[in-house]
């Protein structure tokens, strides 16, 4: 597993906890310091930033993954309801497609959110190091 992938997994794990972004960043700073040396963090940050999509849909899914996936959960549920009540097996296709798309959208949004958290954390680490160097230089 590459360093970038390792940091993204740590951020995904941190997203499961209910806390503020500042608290998540503070907890991740310590973990990142052990996982990736400071000299390598800039390269990892550039790699993750290059992977991030900048199009409208990616930003929408990153910020509102549950809202974007909601219609597909509805299509899956409606297909399940109609398939059972109407005894029509073809309606189960809508169920499978709807649930699959909803799950993939949620997963993609979760991953984008974790990448954004990694970028914020690495920027915070960089800002702290620059501030410390400035403080010690004066």
Q: What does the pLDDT look like over 82-132, one tens digit per residue?
A: 888 877 777 788 889 999 999 999 999 999 999 999 999 999 998 888 888
> What contacts 83, CB < 8 A, 6 or more positions away?
89, 90, 91, 92, 94, 95
pTM for the model: 0.85
In terms of residue numbers, what domain contains 12? 3-137
Q: How far apart are CA 56 and CA 8, in angstroms?
A: 22
> How many domains does the chain contain in total?
1
Mean of pLDDT values over 37-41: 87
Q: How far apart are CA 83 and CA 99, in angstroms?
A: 14
pLDDT value of position 103: 96
């Amino acid at each position: 597993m590459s360093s970038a992938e390792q940091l993204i997994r740590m951020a995904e794990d941190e997203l499961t906890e209910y806390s503020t972004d500042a608290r998540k960043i503070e907890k991740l700073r310590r973990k990142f310091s052990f996982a990736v040396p400071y000299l390598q963090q800039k390269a990892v940050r550039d790699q993750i930033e290059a992977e991030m999509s900048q199009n409208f849909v990616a930003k929408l899914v990153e910020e509102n993954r549950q809202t974007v996936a909601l219609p597909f959960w509805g299509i899956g549920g409606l297909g399940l309801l109609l398939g059972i009540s109407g005894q029509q097996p073809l309606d189960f296709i809508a169920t499978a497609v709807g649930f699959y798309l909803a799950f993939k959208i949620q997963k993609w949004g979760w991953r984008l959110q974790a990448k954004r958290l990694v970028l914020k954390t690495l920027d915070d680490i960089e800002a702290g190091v620059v501030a410390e160097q400035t403080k010690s230089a004066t």
